[in-house]
Amino acid sequence: MKTYSYLHLGEDIDPDSFVICDYRVTTEMPMEKAAEAIAAEQSTGTWTGITTLNDDVFEKYGARVNKIGKDTVRIAYPVADFSLEVGAVPQILSVIAGNLFGLESIGKLRLEDVFFPKSMLKEFKGPKFGIEGIRKELDRLKKPLVGTIVKPKIGLPPKEFADYVYEAGKGGLTNSKDDETLVDQTFCPIEDRTVAVAEALDRLESEGHKMMHAINISTAGHKILELADKVQSWGAREIMVDVITCGFSAVQVLAEDPSIKVPIHVHRTMHGAMTRDPLHGISMLPITKIVRMCGGDALHIGTLGVGKMSGDPRDHHNLDACLDDITVPYRTVMPVCSGGVYPGIVGRIIEASGFDVQIQAGGGVAGHPGGVMKGAMAMSQAVDAAFEHIPVEEYAKDHEELRIALEKWGQR
């Protein structure tokens, strides 16, 4: 039986003809063998040689190991290995991030990055709103957006929930959202909540303040479009979907369905199971890239190493993947920095992110000693200080809400 080698080290790889993936590999095998095992498993091979593979199939569809570093490999998959119209993201992921994680012989493996050819990117539509569209809806063209997550995350009935949103708006916040754990529990049915929040947002607007609240419609795949339609009819101005638990296809179906006319806020709950181990799983970067292809308008990217959730400097790559408007043919995605945020760290986040960002605080608003409105004011003031390049402690001298927040939580 003929044996085939997947090694094409140093060869020129046409970025328009291949999907190129960078993996981190921890193995006791020689790297070349490990790389070949991955390339084989994910394209024309399997754990053993097979009599059914021939030169033609191998040449056209075999993955190519293009580069090997100390603990990294670059593998290029021919475009013909992918099935976009039928298959789409689930099929793409089966190739670039499928069985390989379970290969006994490999040890640990992490998909660090992926580069799609233009011909494949063109098959996706990207965000309908993106940064520009969301900013337009809010009449806030330059300043960072500033939001909250209603807390407690579960338990509040619709009226109290909507009162929280109203107060947050009165305090100057541009955004708020459901927590990922809240959908349609009996203490806060989604219809009553959406209607109550819509009334609060209308009231704020009639008082001169525009605000969005993302209603969490994460649910079973066969019901998600219907739920999105319903919440729109109840007055939702934005919807939220959890991309890891619902899947990329949920984001895509919502973004591409013409009946959905509001921005999609993409939460990433459970991503830590894949992204946290620096040697195993999938880094946030490919997730960000694929969410953008599928049409997410805003996406959680972490707090650039400053909040409660673990994060690292690589979060900057996620930010870049949201904002890159040179190599990516879609609208930019609003990066959302959330998780353990409070006024004293807003400056550092914005320093790292720039102004095209949505900064969000749940506890950092609801935990303010003066209540939600003052908590919202403190967050808004912290954003204003950063926007005007004024040190936060300086700004706090004549902004009492901010001063109290700095006294309570400090600053970094």
154 near Mg ion, judged by CB under 5 A: no
344 near ligand CAP, judged by CB under 6 A: no
Binds 339: which of Mg ion, ligand CAP, none (CB < 5-8 Å by kind): ligand CAP
**Range list of β-strands (E), 243-355:** 264-267, 281-282, 298-300, 334-337
Cβ-proximal residue to ligand CAP, closest one = 362
| Residue 193 backbone dihedrals phi, psi, to 5 degrees | -65, -45
Q: How far is the CB of 189 from ligand CAP (least distance, A)?
A: 21
* Dist. CA 7–CA 5, nearest whole Å: 5
112 near Mg ion, judged by CB under 5 A: no
Helix axis angle for 88-96 and 284-294, nearest 10°, is: 160
What is the token pair recorded at 85? 């119209």
Binds 62: which of ligand CAP, Mg ion, none (CB < 5-8 Å by kind): none
163 near Mg ion, judged by CB under 5 A: no
Q: Which is nearer to ligand CAP, 81 or 180 (CB)?
A: 180
Indicate which single residue of 73, 341, 376, 396 sits in contact with ligand CAP (rule: CB under 6 A). 341
Angstrom CA distances, 60 to 44, 78, 98, 176, 407, stand at 10, 7, 20, 50, 64
Q: Which residue in this structure is represented by tokens 């807390």?
A: 151
* Dist. CA 179–CA 269, nearest whole Å: 10
* Dist. CA 202–CA 196, nearest whole Å: 10
Active-site residue set: 151, 267
Residues 277-306 contacting ligand CAP, CB under 6 A: 300, 302
154 near ligand CAP, judged by CB under 6 A: no
Query: Which region, judged by CB under 5 A, interacts with Mg ion, from 54-62, 87-95, 138-146, 177-185?
Result: 177-185
Q: Do residues 146 and 172 lie in contact, with contact meaning Cβ atoms separated by under 8 Å?
A: yes
Indicate which single residue of 71, 179, 393, 400 sits in contact with ligand CAP (rule: CB under 6 A). 179
What is the token pair recorded at 64? 């190519």
Indicate which single residue of 169, 364, 385, 403 sits in contact with ligand CAP (rule: CB under 6 A). 364
Q: How far is the CB of 375 from ligand CAP (least distance, A)?
A: 11
* Dist. CA 177–CA 202, nearest whole Å: 16
Q: Does residue 340 come out as left (phi exceeding 0), alpha (psi in the -120 to 50 range) or beta?
A: left
Binds 353: which of Mg ion, ligand CAP, none (CB < 5-8 Å by kind): none
Angstrom CA distances, 181 to 151, 242, 346, stand at 11, 10, 25
Q: Do residues 88 and 250 lie in contact, with contact meaning Cβ atoms separated by under 8 Å?
A: no
273 near ligand CAP, judged by CB under 6 A: no
Query: Which region, judged by CB under 5 A, interacts with Mg ion, from 49-57, 178-186, 188-196, 197-205?
Result: 178-186
Cα dihedral across residues 250, 252, 255, 257: positive or negative: negative
308 near ligand CAP, judged by CB under 6 A: yes
* Dist. CA 365–CA 173, nearest whole Å: 10
Query: Which region, judged by CB under 5 A, interacts with Mg ion, from 99-107, 173-181, 190-198, 281-289?
Result: 173-181
Q: How far is the CB of 343 from ligand CAP (least distance, A)?
A: 12
Indicate which single residue of 32, 132, 179, 393 sits in contact with Mg ion (rule: CB under 5 A). 179
Strand partners, 192: none
312 near ligand CAP, judged by CB under 6 A: no
CA-angle at 86, arms to 80 and 90, nearest 5°: 85
Indicate which single residue of 361, 377, 404, 405 sits in contact with ligand CAP (rule: CB under 6 A). 361
Q: How far is the CB of 365 from ligand CAP (least distance, A)?
A: 8
339 near ligand CAP, judged by CB under 6 A: yes
Tell how far CA 201 is from the center of its chain.
25
What is the spatial order of strands in the sheet that 281-282 belongs to?
64-68, 72-78, 18-26, 108-115, 281-282
199 near ligand CAP, judged by CB under 6 A: no
The site string for Mg ion over 223-252 (x = CB under 5 A, - otherwise) reads ------------------------------
Residue 184 identity: D
Indicate which single residue of 110, 209, 268, 368 sits in contact with ligand CAP (rule: CB under 6 A). 268
**Site residues (CB under 6 A) for ligand CAP?**
149, 151, 153, 179-180, 268, 300, 302, 308-309, 338-341, 361-364
